């Protein structure tokens, strides 16, 4: 929604964030969703899908680093990675910084999101789509998962909110199909909303994942343009010892990876497992 030079995000009925824009760079109604890309003075370029902020140049690093490096430095040796969604390429970029990764499959429903983000957000993918380790599949994540016979060490679901095309990626059926494609000791993480605003998502996901995995939980990060405080990332694995690793163990892997990060570090990693009580109480069976 664009009035004067303000764009207002309309995700919630009673609360909204808005920001000034200098230009509407691109807009299209794709087969799946309404895609808009704005130039803004404060946030850099901003992409909205169906009126909801998906990514901004200014704060994407927090989300992409935390979505990727928490599972990737927790797993002792992740070689095969699956990304569901993530068309802007930020997740793929961060995954490929891990040199031990042999192969990444990314399943995105909307080719236009990939094409437009390559053009308008080149630093998000930063060449990752040309990396020979990456295979991009244009398909509905749900259909892909239901027929997938491959196995992965880490699965990252970088979806929209559970409204519209993203909804199926939060269902018990989808989670069960996903589990079948995880190697032993594998980890799945997923974007799970802002619990101060979208508390039901924590309860629903917790109930669905705890039926499938020995450990279903969350970790948190604050992303300024996902307004409302912490965002929760769903976390599920059968290996409960993974989350018990010390900062030193994680630090050793981070040091040997040898790349720099702007939000993520091993202390933040371990601290992100600590859940405030208003989130804990949402985790009911």
**Under the rule (CB under 6 A), what is the footprint of ligand AG3?**
11, 52, 54-55, 63, 86, 88, 90, 158, 160-161, 191, 193-194, 198, 226
CB of 86 to ligand AG3, least distance (A): 5
In whole angstroms, what is the distance from residue 268 CA to residue 175 CA? Answer: 27
Of 53 and 145, the one with the shorter C-beta distance to ligand AG3 is 53
Of 19 and 63, the one with the shorter C-beta distance to ligand AG3 is 63
> Which two three-digit tokens encode residue 197?
């605003």
Burial of 186 (0-12, 13-18, 19+ CB in 10 A): buried
CB of 47 to ligand AG3, least distance (A): 8
Q: Which residues contact 167 (CB under 8 A, 6 or more apart)?
A: none
CB of 16 to ligand AG3, least distance (A): 11
CB of 135 to ligand AG3, least distance (A): 18
CB of 109 to ligand AG3, least distance (A): 13
Of 91 and 283, the one with the shorter C-beta distance to ligand AG3 is 91
Place of tokens 């990675």: 81
Q: Which residues contact 3 (CB under 8 A, 6 or more apart)?
A: none
Is the dihedral angle over the CA atoms 139, 142, 147, 150 positive or is it negative? Answer: positive
In whole angstroms, what is the distance from residue 118 CA to residue 126 CA? Answer: 8
Of 11 and 155, the one with the shorter C-beta distance to ligand AG3 is 11
In whole angstroms, what is the distance from residue 79 CA to residue 162 CA? Answer: 29
Closest-CA residue to 266 (of 252, 246, 247, 243)? 247
Q: Where does residue 50 fall: left (phi above 0), alpha (psi -120 to 50 degrees), or beta otherwise?
A: left
Q: Just list the catalytic residues.
A: 158
Cα atoms in the 13 Å half-sphere on the side-chain side of 242: 27
Of 63 and 264, the one with the shorter C-beta distance to ligand AG3 is 63
């Amino acid at each position: 929604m664009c009035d004067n030079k303000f764009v207002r995000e309309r995700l919630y009925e009673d609360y909204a964030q808005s920001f000034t824009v200098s230009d509407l760079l691109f807009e299209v109604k794709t087969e799946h969703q309404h895609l808009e890309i704005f130039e803004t003075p404060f946030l850099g370029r901003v992409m909205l899908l169906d009126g909801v902020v998906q990514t901004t140049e200014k704060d994407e690093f927090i989300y992409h680093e935390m979505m990727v490096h928490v599972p990737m430095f927790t797993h002792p040796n992740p070689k095969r990675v699956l990304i569901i969604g993530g068309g802007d390429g930020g997740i793929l970029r961060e995954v490929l910084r891990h040199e031990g990764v042999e192969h990444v499959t990314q399943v995105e429903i909307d080719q236009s999101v990939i094409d437009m983000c390559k053009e308008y957000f080149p630093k998000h993918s930063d060449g990752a789509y040309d990396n020979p380790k990456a295979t991009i599949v244009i398909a509905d994540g749900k259909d892909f998962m239901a027929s997938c016979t491959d196995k992965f060490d880490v699965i990252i679901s970088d979806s929209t909110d559970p409204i519209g095309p993203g909804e199926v990626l939060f269902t018990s059926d989808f989670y069960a199909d996903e589990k079948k494609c995880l190697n032993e000791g594998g980890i799945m993480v997923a974007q799970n909303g802002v619990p101060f605003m979208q508390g039901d998502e924590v309860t629903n996901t917790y109930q669905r994942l705890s039926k499938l995995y020995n450990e279903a939980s969350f970790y948190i990060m604050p992303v300024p343009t996902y307004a409302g405080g912490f965002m929760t990332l769903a976390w599920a694995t059968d290996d409960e010892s993974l989350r018990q690793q010390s900062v030193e163990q994680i630090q050793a892997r981070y040091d040997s990876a040898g790349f720099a990060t702007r939000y993520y570090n091993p202390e933040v990693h371990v601290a992100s497992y600590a859940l405030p009580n208003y989130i804990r109480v949402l985790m009911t069976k």
